Structure 1
Amino acid sequence: MGFRDTDRGGPSSKTTGSQVVLALVCAAQFMVVLDISVVNVALPSIQRSLGFGDVGQQWVVNAYALTFAGLLLLGGRLADLFGRRRVFLVGLALFSGASLVGGLADTAGPLIAARAGQGVGAAILAPATLTVLTATFPEGPGRTRALALWTAVGVAGGTAGNLLGGVLTEYLSWRSILLINVPIGAVAAMFALRYLAADDGPAARRRLDVAGAVLATLGLTAFAYGVTKSHDSGWTAPVTVVSLLAGIVALAGFVVVEARFAAVPVIPLRLFRARAISLGNVMMLLAGACLNPMWFFLTLSMQNVLHYSPLLTGLAFLPHTVITILVAARVTPWLMRHVDSRTLIAIGALLAAAGFFWQGFLTPESGYLAGILGPAVAFSIGGGLLNTPLTASVTSGVDTADAGAASGLMNTTKQVGGALGLAVLVAVASGHASTPEALSAAYGRAFAVIAALMVVVATLAYTLPSQRDGVIR
């Protein structure tokens, strides 16, 4: 099990233990996802403080997102091989330590390196949270409710990051958005030591697929860099072509290593025989390319077009947080007992697409109600409806021995989508725009692409197996 009984082990104590474990993994997931978005509101302040360029500032986001995405595959496998509690604590320590380094950075290089270090810790920690959850709650209504809460907390971490980032940046400093992770990590470690069951025996001496994880990270980073450079240098420039080709070659090498050479592959290719996993992860990739970069462009829209302060920007995100939590944690689990998950995913994706399309019409003259709140209601409800059933689909029917790998794969595709989506959308939106009117038009192009991708997700929804209440039928 994923928890330690703290009394005589009766039914009541097991229920209490599982709820404490659920709270712990949700808190850890919240912290990991928070750091994807918490820097968004602070980007203009970081840019002024450390001298980032307009395109370069995306690497404060992508240094975290790419290492997180590239190493999630390896991180997911670690919990299967070395024990959930042990891996959870290691990931927590790395994440908190890198946060301390980043908060003390005085130039751009150390900050980006620290953000990459946070990504390594998050890549170990995030799949461990989902592995503990799926090991604690068997398939059925109990797991559906736990997944709904875990998903809602994760989404809330993304939205709350903007609010928290705005408050901390306004009243303290952008550095505080990183330093706050240190005490939170310490408290989480104490709870993990008390409530997570100790792993059986010493760590297993098994060969890890480090080559596969390194190739995945290099491939994703090179590909994203090539897409980014296409804006400044053009698609046919040597630096762009070489970067894109290097990314493709590295990712192809990753597939070869997984199929032929890895003794314990980070992703057993047999997982892709399950339609829910193969097609579900394609949809997760596309959803990640929409839902993660959205915060980046919405933050820039508020500050550069509407001229909101960091605090006001954070407060403007509050409805996104509240709506998403209510829909994902309360409404969606009830709907999943009565409605096919495919229908919920399709409806949610279409609602989100409508909201993003609406968001693309923001202008410097827009008021908050029509320019921010209206679109927020649509895409927050949509995101809350689709995330939990999609997560349930890509983690259903997986053998316990592969639970970590499946969790790592799901998190990877979502973060890969976010990182590559951000690189592509920055290229779409970037230009020589400097006035609020020109910037709003540029950001509008990005939101139009996001809306189109969500329509594709809705179209693909019915390729998934039928599922109700977390069980494939």
Structure 2
Amino acid sequence: MDRSSVVKVIALMVTGFGIGIDFTGALILVPAIENSFDADITSTQWVLNIYALFFAMTMVAGGRLGDMYGHRKMMLIGLSIFLFSSVMCFVSPSLDFLIVSRALQGIGAGCVWPCTLAFGATKVSRPEHRAMIMGLVLAGVTCGNVIGPLISGTVVNLGDWRLFFLANVLFATISMVTALLLMERETHHKQGEHIDFAGMAVLSFAVLLLLYGLDVGADWGWTSSPLLMLFFVCAVLFVLFPQVEKRVKEPLLLPQMMVNREFRITLGLNMFNVSAAFVGLMYFPQYMQKVLGWSTLQSAFGLAPLTVLLAVGSILSGKLYNDFGPKRLLFWGYLCATVGAASVVVMPAGLGYIQILPGMAMIGLGATLTVGPSGTAAVCAVKPERAGLVGGLSFMTHLVYGAISVACATAIMYLASLQSLGERLTAAGITMSEADQRAINSGTLITSSARAVMEKLSTAEAEKVKSAIAAAFDTGMNMAFIFATVSVSIGIVLAILLDEEKLHKVES
């Protein structure tokens, strides 16, 4: 590559790095955000879920808009939204404000990411350099995934989790400047493109209702009329989605693709591989902080077996796919992830970091063998002219199911830990109201409501309660990983069903 192309690739890598740090870095902040806003885990999970959902649902539209109006222009618009929303996160006066700001960040990232890939693939250098360039851009993202938790840990140690979002502001600003200075304005755009706003709206609203129902279920009561009505509306929207798709000009899911058996299987393989990884990214840092008593920075380093393997895997996945083929790679990857998730459940309590270390390593290895290859397999299952659409669709499916997995796991975790806490308090001879138990459940005991509960107790009682909370969190986390184990194990079945010969003989 010439010098100009090298500089442009570096600029794209910086953009990817900024997106990468935002996703994993925000996860490490969850306990600090809980303490800051006196919230519980069912509420703070939205810091991850709302970002993933809006990122996923915006991405296909962002790519299409880039095709229609210019990838450089959409990158600048997306980066502006990302920068503005990062400032909103920094100044957030409440958890609701932060969640809305994270949704805007997801929209900005959803506009930036597909246009970054498209720009790297089509505008930076000659076609023979395309694979290398795409690998370097992905390397920027995965390096951000590794560094993000370290930035979070550092800023929390400095005393304010909000400082993390200034890093978003910094990298968004650098990316905007480099896009303006280094990336040429496009003059030729696709004509006659259509965006399935109706389908995206129906699907987004259905997923949002599902996530919200899982969030408030414990408070409303799982058999309450309002919650059952909410789930009914959610189910109606999911059923309505395919009907909407039949009536729009260019649907997200083309009917001719959905009759392709191998495409359906690969779409499923893109879904279930995120269950263990997303649940792990959510709960491993919290376990280290709430049960082991580690600092945020220590937990960021402790998460390295998972994040480093994810980063290395995304870089190597292309070579692994070519060497071993999708079927073997996906089967062994899903098997590793399933064993990793199950190991968290079966490892004896009280082992400290060793209790989760094998799970982190196996889940990271499983993700290495499945995330990239499942997307490649989905693209291989359709005609070349649909590769861009399917690439975005597979990543969208990946993120949406990841958000659903976290919501389901969190609902299970919260109920299990609350029940365990009540049983342990009763066994210890401590009487506590249900409201007080909810205030301290899965907490770090430094929120204002938790402190108010602990102040009512004697020193001896407080020690028993702290022990009960840690044990209850461990119980709840184990139940969350039972869900993750079952979910990710579905991928083993799908990998067995995948027909490699048909996968490479596209007919639809």
- Normalised by the length of structure 2, the TM-score is 0.80
Aligned with residue 500 of structure 2, among 457, 466, 469: 466
1:316 to 283, 287, 302: 302
Shift of 1:443: 0.2
Aligned residues of 1:127 and 1:411 also touching (Cα < 8 A): no
What does 1:199-278 align with in structure 2 at a 5 Å threshold? 199-201=186-188, 208-260=195-247, 262-278=248-264
Alignment of 1:448 with 2:482, yes or no, is yes
For 2:472, give the aligned amino acid.
A
**Number of paired residues?**
455
Alpha carbons 1:355, 1:378 under 8 Å: kept: yes
Please tell me whether the aligned partners of residues 98 and 114 of structure 1 are also in contact (alpha carbons under 8 angstroms): yes
1:76–1:271: structure 2 CA closer, same or farther, 3 Å change rule? farther
Alpha-carbon distance change, 205 to 190 in structure 1, aligned in 2, over 3 angstroms:
farther
Amino acid at match of 1:259: K
* Residue of structure 2 aligned with 1:343, choices 319, 328, 343: 328
In 1, are the aligned partners of 2:277 and 2:363 still within 8 Å (CA)? no
* CA spacing shift, 1:462–1:157, aligned 2, 3 Å: farther
**TM superposition shift of 1:430:** 1.1
How big is the shift at 1:151?
5.0
Per the TM alignment, residue 282 of structure 1 is displaced from its structure 2 partner at its CA by 1.5
1:84 corresponds in structure 2 to 71
1:294 aligns with 2:275: no
CA shift for structure 1 position 322: 2.9
Matched-pair contact (CA < 8 Å) for 2:263–2:381: no
Partners of 2:14 and 2:171 within 8 A in 1: no
Match of 1:304 in 2: 290
Partner of 2:60: 73
- For residues 69-468 of structure 1, the aligned pairs below 5 Å read 69-135=56-122, 153-201=140-188, 208-260=195-247, 262-330=248-316, 332-361=317-346, 365-368=350-353, 370-396=354-380, 402-431=386-415, 432=418, 433=421, 434=441, 435-466=469-500
Q: CA deviation at 1:257?
A: 2.5
2:449 — aligned with what?
A: none
Distance in 2, Cα, partners of 1:56 & 1:308: 22
Give the direction of change, closer, same or farther, for the CA distance of 1:230–1:115 in structure 2 (3 Å limit). Answer: same
Q: Secondary structure at the match of 2:29?
A: helix
Deviation at 1:136, TM superposition (A): 6.5
Change (3 A) 1:18 1:355: farther
In 2 relative to 1, CA 409–327 (structure 1 residues): closer, same or farther, beyond 3 Å? closer
Gaps of 5+ in 1: 1-11
Unaligned runs of 5+ in 2: 422-440, 442-468
The CA RMSD measured in Å over matched residues stands at 3.2
TM-superposed CA distance for 1:223, in Å, is: 1.3
- Bigger radius of gyration: 2
Amino acid paired to 1:447 = F
Distance, in Å, in 2 between the alignment partners of 1:94 and 1:466 is 42
- 1:36 aligns to what? 23
What is the TM-score with the length of structure 1 in the denominator? 0.85
Q: Following the alignment from structure 1 to structure 2, what is the Cα–Cα distance between the partners of residues 343 and 132?
A: 32
Percent of aligned pairs with the same residue?
A: 24
Cα distance between partner residues in 1 of 2:288 and 2:243 = 45
- Structure 1 residues 186 and 464: CA distance shift in structure 2, 3 A: farther
Alpha-carbon separation, structure 1, partners of 2:489 and 2:137: 25
**SS of equivalent to 1:443:** helix
